[in-house]
Structure 1
Amino acid sequence: MMHVFNLRVYYEDTDLAGIVYYANYLKFIERARSEWVRGLGVDQSALRAQGVVFAVRRVVADYVRPAVFDDELQVRTQVLAATGARLTLAQTVWRGDALLFEAEVQLVCLSDAGRAVRFPAVVLAAVTVM
C-alpha cells in the first residue's frame, strides 16, 4: 500500500537558480512521513508524551531531476520492511510521471533519554495492516 502526499514548490524552497534546494527534498519526505503516520491513526504527540519519538537513522538519496518554483509534486511512501526495531521506507518525489527524487529511509524509535527502544505495538500493528 502506498501513501500519497501532494505539495507545491514555493520560492522559499528554491535556490538562486530557481531549482529546489537539495536539502528541501528531505523536508518534503519528512512532511509526507508525518502525514503517513497520522493517516495510520498513530498519535505522535501521545507517543512523545509517553517518552517515545521516531528518528531517522539512515537515508540513502538519489536526486534524479530538478523541481522548480510552482511545480506540483507528489511524495509517495511505501513500507519496505518492518521489525520491532526498524522501519524501512521507500519515498519518492514525482512531478506528474517524472521521478525527481528517491530515498530509502530507515526509522527507529528513541526514548526521551535518547536510547533506542522498540516500536510501540500500535505502530507495528498499523504498519503491518498495510
Structure 2
Amino acid sequence: MVKPYRKRIYAYECDLYGHLHNTNYLDILEAARSDALVDVGMPVQQLLDMGWHFYIRRVEMEFIQGVRVDDVVEVRSVPLELKKVRTHWKQELFNQAGELCFWAEIHVVHVFEGKPTRVTDEIWESFKRLADS
C-alpha cells in the first residue's frame, strides 16, 4: 500500500446537501496517486517534462456512504497491477472514524507521443517502488 493521503473536505467541494460532490471523489483520488508518484521520486511535472502522459482508461467505483463538509478523509491506494504500458489501482476513501465511504478501481494507460507506450527503465524503477511501499 502506498502512503495514505489525507485531506479535509471544504464547503466549496460539497453539494447543497453538505455532502462531498460526486465529481470531487475522482479529484481526490487523482491527488492521492500524484502524491504517490512524488513519494517514489517521479512527480507528475517531471513525467510531463519527459513527454509522458497517463490517461485514465476505465474507472469502476462504488459510493458506500456520504462524506460531509469538514470531514478529514484518508485515501489508501494499492497498485493491483503494474505493467510497463498500464497500471491498475485500487483506491479506498475512509472517513475519520475509519469507515469505508467509497472505493474505485482505476485503469491507467501510459502514453508517449500520443500512443500507448512502454515506460522507460527509469520510470519503471520508480513504479516498482510503488509496489514495494
Instruction: Please say whether Structure 1 and Structure 2 have the same fold, judged by a TM-score greater than 0.5.
Output: yes
CA deviation after TM superposition for structure 1 residue 122, in Å:
2.4
Residue 68 of structure 2 is matched in structure 1 by 68
Structure 1 residue 119: Cα displacement: 2.2
The separation in 2 between residues aligned to 1:119 and 1:103, in whole angstroms, is: 24
Q: State the 1:41 CA deviation.
A: 0.6
Scaled by the length of structure 2, the TM-score of the pair is 0.90
The separation in 2 between residues aligned to 1:121 and 1:103, in whole angstroms, is: 28
Could you say which residue in structure 1 is the equivalent of 2:13? 13
Q: Which residue of 2 aligns with 1:33?
A: 33
Question: Counterpart of 2:44?
Answer: 44
User: In the TM superposition, what whole-angstrom CA distance separates every residue of 1:33-76 from its partner, at most 9, and x where no partner exists?
Assistant: 11010001113223212211111111111111100000010011
Q: Is the 8 A contact 2:2 2:36 kept in 1?
A: no
Alpha-carbon RMSD across the aligned residues, in angstroms, is 1.3
Counterpart amino acid of 2:13?
D
Report if the CA contact (8 A) 1:64-1:99 is conserved: yes
2:98 alignment partner AA: D
Per-residue displacement from partner, 1:12-45 (whole Å, max 9, x unpaired)?
Answer: 1100111111111000000111101000111322
- The answer to whether residue 3 in structure 2 is matched with residue 24 in structure 1 is no
Unaligned runs of 5+ in 1: none
**Which secondary structure state, in structure 1, belongs to the residue aligned with residue 4 of structure 2?**
strand
Corresponding position of 1:90:
90
In 2, the alpha carbon distance for the partners of 1:86 and 1:77 equals 16
Deviation at 1:126, TM superposition (A): 2.2
In 2, the alpha carbon distance for the partners of 1:118 and 1:16 equals 44
The sequence identity of aligned pairs, in percent, is: 26
Q: Which amino acid aligns with 1:122?
A: E
Question: What is the TM-score with the length of structure 1 in the denominator?
Answer: 0.92
- 2:85 matched to 1:99? no
After TM superposition, what 4+ stretches of structure 1 lie above 4 angstroms from structure 2? none
Aligned partner of 2:117 in structure 1 is 117
Structure 2 unmatched ranges of 5 or more: none
Q: How many residues align?
A: 129
